[in-house]
Amino acid sequence: MPVIKAEDILEGETALRQWAGLARAAAVQAHTSSERLTIAPRLGRRQMAMAVRYALYMLQLRAPGPGVEVRVAPFAAVKVLDGPKSDPHNLTPPDVIELEPAVWLRLACGITRWDEEREAGHISAMGERDNLSRFLPLPVD
């Protein structure tokens, strides 16, 4: 099942741009990296879901593969990057990354960097391929 339905892609792109605009405006006001780590513009639940799903869709396009599962609960999860597929008895791949929606969107939009969020304890990652920094930020303009 795709992370976002084809008919929802435009809505997802619009929601991500809206979130990014609000976050970038807040980032201008942030004077420290710790302030940027708390940026979390509020959209309606559907708009947040669409923004997250669209950003995950963009990640899949940049880093296709079955080796790492990226989970952004409660909205979506995708598999990306080359590597071993899931064990047929356990559908979770050996590498898993879990993020909160605001954390994922901050990274996707370039508000914060992977190492900042990881050091702040906002990223739960295990496995050899537990760093997506080379794919971020996503093109959100």
For residues 5 and 77, give the distance between their C-alpha atoms in angstroms, rounded to a whole number. Answer: 14
Which pTM does this prediction carry? 0.92
pLDDT-derived band at 140 (thresholds 50, 70, 90) equals confident
In a 3-state reduction of DSSP, which class is residue 7? helix
Sheet holding 123-126, edge to edge: 76-80, 68-72, 95-99, 123-126
Write out pLDDT tens, residues 17-30.
Answer: 999 999 999 999 99
Give the residue from 120, 73, 77 showing the smallest Cα distance to 100. Answer: 73
Give the residue from 32, 24, 28, 76 showing the smallest Cα distance to 50. Answer: 76
Q: Residue 31: what pLDDT?
A: 87
For residues 57 and 77, give the distance between their C-alpha atoms in angstroms, rounded to a whole number. Answer: 10
In a 3-state reduction of DSSP, which class is residue 3? coil
For residues 62 and 82, give the distance between their C-alpha atoms in angstroms, rounded to a whole number. Answer: 12
pLDDT-derived band at 82 (thresholds 50, 70, 90) equals confident
Domain boundary assignment for the chain: 6-135
Q: What is the mean pLDDT of residues 84-91?
A: 59
- Write the CATH number of the domain with boundaries 6-135: 3.30.1050.40
Q: What is the mean pLDDT of residues 74-102?
A: 80
Q: Quick one: tokens of 28?
A: 């201008």
Which string of DSSP letters, residue by residue, matches 39-81?
------HHHHHHHHHHHHHHHHHHS-SSSEEEEETTTEEEEES
Examine the pLDDT at 130 and tell me if it is beyond 90.
Answer: no
